């Protein structure tokens, strides 16, 4: 099987590297073509270079000429823009939802409009568009009790940066004006949702968890292991939010009973509702949840693999998922499918450029030495490029060392030692930055109510 991992219009990152690694390991795949590959992908033996595919016409011509049998869409924007629809109209097999179904990620209001009639637990909210700036400001101005924060969300795609947890009126007003008045997020912020803040489960410091489901067009779905990431840039969840500074899987405090609850309360009704609305979902559905005193509540839906959450999941997988993705892309059924997993925990550490998620330098030479040569370790590339024979940084998120370990604590300790063997820049003002608390202090079971 020849596979194309299409990352247009964005650049290739860790998620696409993991997809390429899955293809590299799969006996079903003979060659993998990747648009705009990073340096980690180009060294894979099955990798083949791709010409500039900057429009759908060129993409279709290339797929037919080369004989591509499966297209895996990496980032969210091509899915929301309808690349899946365009390719399927040409008879090409694509793993990913249609433009209509991708609205689950493309519009937070759309996702709420599916969840509400399906009785899926989620935060209460109000919406305001860019003609309702005054009404939005009046609404938050009328909040008397700021003991709990509120959440201001841009409705559309904002590269993971369109959410503000406002702890006071000033922060709320700034977030509203940034979206509706200053147009910081462009069209993605032309509508906002103002939501209640969901409380943490008592005694649980890290209550957000990610669930991933492989879904076929008939409504069958299979849940992958749970995963959790670390959003803020500094230890102790301090500083601005990022695309993720690390992740682990599975989440030890999520029991089989809790997983069943998520299946019954969230995935099954959403998938059924999408089918009823004439927008059957197929592909990868990702629910970001928060476990509250009332149980799981949906924070957001995504319609593609999460980065970095998929990295530790990848380390735990025994089963080859590429044939499953091909079955889904072909319109087949995955009823009865059940993947197998390795014992232990996958743990990922994201190494970033100094200054990320703000301004940072690019093009810094990377030096790597003394890394373990074992199946329990993988160095995933996020933002790298080769210039001649020199490996260089090419983004804010650069390298993601990932391990399979007997415990989360041991995985975190291994990653700290491994990170010490990776250097770029002068090692200080423009060297690598990473958190040192990934995998630490994670409860093994859900605490009792306090």
Is 439 part of a structural domain of the chain?
A: no
Number of domains in the chain: 4
Which has the closest alpha carbon to 257: 291, 280, 232? 291
Instruction: Band the pLDDT of 203: cuts 50, 70, 90.
Output: confident
Domain end call among 96, 116, 148: 96
Residue 275 has pLDDT above 70, yes or no: yes
Domain shared by 167 and 272, yes or no: no
Domain shared by 207 and 324, yes or no: yes
Place of tokens 């006996």: 27
Task: Give the pLDDT confidence of 96-119 residue by residue, as tens digits.
Answer: 999 999 999 999 999 999 999 999
Residue predicted with more confidence, 159 or 101: 101
Domain shared by 166 and 89, yes or no: no
User: What value does the mean pLDDT take over residues 250-267?
Assistant: 96
Domain shared by 245 and 290, yes or no: yes
Q: Tell me the β-bridge partners of 209.
A: 289
Residue 53 has pLDDT above 80, yes or no: no
pLDDT of residue 450: 38
- How far is Cα of residue 409 from the mean position of the Cα atoms in its chain? 23
Largest CA distance in the chain: 64
Is 325 part of a structural domain of the chain?
A: yes
| Top-ranked range on mean pLDDT: pick from 154-158, 183-187, 412-416 | 412-416
Q: Which helix (H) or strand (E) holds 113?
A: helix 108-115
Residue 449 has pLDDT above 50, yes or no: no
Indicate if the alpha-carbon torsion angle 43, 49, 52, 57 is positive or negative: negative
Place of tokens 């940072």: 360
Strand ranges inside 35-110, DSSP E: 47-48, 70-73, 94-95
Task: Give the pLDDT confidence of 226-239 residue by residue, as tens digits.
Answer: 999 999 999 999 99
Which has the closest alpha carbon to 227: 195, 254, 190, 201? 254
Domain shared by 214 and 192, yes or no: no
Is 340 part of a structural domain of the chain?
A: no
What CA dihedral angle connects 35, 36, 41 and 47, to 10 degrees? 40
> Which CATH number covers residue 129?
3.30.1490.20
> Which CATH number covers residue 239?
3.30.470.20
Instruction: Band the pLDDT of 123: cuts 50, 70, 90.
Output: very high
Antiparallel, parallel or unpaired: β 150-154 and 191-196: antiparallel
Beta-carbon count within 10 A of 200 CB: 15
Antiparallel, parallel or unpaired: β 345-349 and 125-129: unpaired
> Which CATH number covers residue 75?
3.40.50.20
Say how far apart CA 211 and CA 250 lie, in whole Å.
Answer: 10
Domain shared by 85 and 132, yes or no: no
pLDDT of residue 345: 98
pLDDT of residue 74: 87
Is 335 part of a structural domain of the chain?
A: no
Q: How far is CA 405 from CA 257, 299, 374, 409, in A?
A: 25, 29, 12, 9
Domain shared by 189 and 210, yes or no: no
User: What value does the mean pLDDT take over residues 81-108?
Assistant: 95
User: What value does the mean pLDDT take over residues 385-399?
Assistant: 95
Cβ 5 vs Cβ 63: under 8 Å: no
Domain shared by 205 and 191, yes or no: no
Q: Provide CB contacts within 8 A for 292, sequence distance 6+.
A: 198, 199, 200, 201, 207
Structural domain span for residue 412: 345-433
Which tokens belong to 199?
């409380």
Say how far apart CA 183 and CA 414 lie, in whole Å.
Answer: 43
Domain shared by 367 and 408, yes or no: yes
Q: What is the pTM of this model?
A: 0.94
pLDDT of residue 448: 67
Task: Please give the share of the chain, as a percent, with pLDDT higher than 90.
Answer: 83
């Amino acid at each position: 099987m020849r596979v194309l991992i299409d990352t247009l219009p964005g650049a290739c990152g860790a998620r696409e590297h993991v997809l390429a690694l899955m293809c590299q390991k799969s006996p079903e795949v003979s060659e993998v073509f990747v648009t705009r590959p990073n340096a980690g992908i180009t060294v894979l033996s099955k990798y083949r270079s791709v010409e500039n595919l900057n429009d759908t016409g060129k993409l279709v011509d290339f797929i037919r000429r080369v004989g591509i049998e499966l297209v895996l869409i990496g980032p969210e924007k091509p899915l929301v823009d309808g690349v899946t629809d365009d390719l399927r109209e040409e008879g090409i097999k694509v793993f990913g939802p249609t433009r209509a179904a991708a609205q689950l990620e493309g519009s937070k209001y759309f996702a709420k409009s599916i969840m509400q009639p399906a009785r899926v637990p989620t935060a209460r909210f109000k919406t305001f568009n860019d003609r309702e700036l005054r009404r939005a400001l009046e609404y938050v101005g009328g909040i008397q009790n700021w003991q709990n924060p509120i959440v201001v969300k841009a409705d559309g795609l904002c590269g993971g940066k369109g959410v503000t947890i406002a702890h006071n009126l000033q922060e709320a007003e700034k977030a509203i004006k940034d979206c509706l008045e200053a147009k910081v997020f462009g069209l993605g912020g032309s509508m906002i949702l103002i939501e209640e803040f969901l409380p943490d489960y008592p005694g649980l410091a890290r209550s957000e968890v990610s669930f991933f489901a492989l879904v076929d067009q008939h409504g069958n779905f299979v849940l992958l292991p749970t995963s959790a990431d670390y959003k803020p840039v500094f230890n102790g969840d301090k500083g601005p939010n990022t695309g993720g500074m690390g992740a682990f899987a599975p989440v030890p405090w999520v029991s089989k009973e809790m997983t069943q609850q998520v299946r019954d309360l969230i995935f099954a009704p959403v998938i059924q509702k999408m089918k009823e609305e004439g927008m059957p979902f197929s592909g990868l559905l990702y629910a970001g949840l928060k476990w509250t005193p009332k149980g799981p509540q949906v924070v957001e839906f995504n319609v593609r693999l999460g980065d970095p959450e998929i990295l530790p999941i990848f380390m735990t997988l025994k089963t080859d998922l590429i044939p499953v993705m091909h079955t889904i892309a072909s319109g087949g059924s995955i009823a009865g499918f059940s993947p197998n997993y390795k014992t232990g925990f996958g743990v990922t550490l994201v190494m970033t450029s100094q200054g990320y998620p703000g301004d940072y330098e690019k093009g810094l030479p990377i030096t790597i030495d003394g890394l373990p040569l074992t199946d329990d370790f993988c160095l995933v590339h996020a933002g790298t490029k080769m210039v001649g024979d020199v490996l260089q940084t090419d983004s804010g998120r650069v390298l993601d060392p990932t391990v399979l370990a007997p415990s989360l604590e041991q995985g975190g300790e291994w990653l700290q030692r491994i990170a010490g063997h990776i250097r770029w820049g002068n090692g200080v003002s423009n060297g690598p930055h990473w958190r040192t608390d990934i995998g630490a202090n994670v409860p093994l079971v859900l605490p009792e109510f306090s």
